[in-house]
Amino acid sequence: MAKNITVLGTGYVGLVSSVGLADFGNTVTGVDLRTDIVDTLNGGRSTIYEIGLEEYLQRDLESGRLSFTTDGDAAIADADIVFFAVGTPPKADGHADLSQIEAAARQVAANLTGYKVVVTKSTVPVGTNRRVQNIIAEASGKTPGTHFSVVSNPEFLREGKAVQDFFHPDRIVIGYEDDRAREYMEDVYRALYLIQTPFVWCNLETAELIKYASNAFLATKITFINQMANLAEAAGADIHQIAKSMGMDGRISPKFLHPGPGYGGSCFPKDTKAVAATGDEYGVDMSVIKAVIEANDHQKVITAGKLMRLMGGSVSGRTVAVLGLAFKAETDDVRESPAIDIVQELLREGATVRAFDPEAMDNFKTAVVGEGPFGNNLNSDLQEQIAEAAASRLHYCSDEFDALTGADALIIVTEWNAFRNLDMDRAADAMSGRLIFDARNVLDPERAREKGFTYAGVGRV
Please give the residue ranges that form the binding site for ligand UGA (CB under 6 A): 123, 155-159, 215, 218, 222, 256-258, 260, 263-265, 267-268, 327-328
The answer to whether 94 and 277 have CB atoms below 8 angstroms apart is yes
Q: Which is nearer to ligand UGA, 144 or 338 (CB)?
A: 338
Amino acid 160 reads: G
> Minimum Å distance from CB 152 to ligand UGA?
14
Task: Tell me the chain's radius of gyration from C-alpha atoms.
Answer: 24
CB of 375 to ligand UGA, least distance (A): 14
Please say whether the beta carbons of 152 and 120 come within 8 A.
Answer: yes
Which runs of consecutive H residues, i.e. helices, occur in 24-145? 35-42, 53-63, 72-78, 99-110, 128-140
Shortest Å, Cβ 287 to ligand UGA: 21
- Strands 352-356 vs 394-396: parallel, antiparallel or unpaired: parallel
Give kind and range of the element (H or E) at residue 118. Answer: strand 116-120
Assess contact for 458 and 229: CB atoms under 8 A: yes
In degrees to the nearest 10, what's the CA dihedral of 175, 181, 183, 186?
A: -40
Minimal distance in Å, beta carbon 155 to ligand UGA? 6
To ligand UGA, the closest distance from the beta carbon of 83 in angstroms equals 15
* 405 Ramachandran zone, left/alpha/beta (phi>0; psi -120 to 50): beta
The answer to whether residues 27 and 5 touch, using CB atoms and an 8 Å cutoff, is yes
348, 385 contact by CB (below 8 A): yes
Which one, of 20, 49, 40, lies nearest residue 331 by Cα? 49
Show the DSSP H helices in 64-178 as ranges. 72-78, 99-110, 128-140, 162-167
Catalytic annotation, residues: 267
Rounded to a whole number of angstroms, the minimum distance from the CB of residue 165 to ligand UGA is 7
User: Is 157 or 342 the residue whose CB approaches ligand UGA more closely?
Assistant: 157
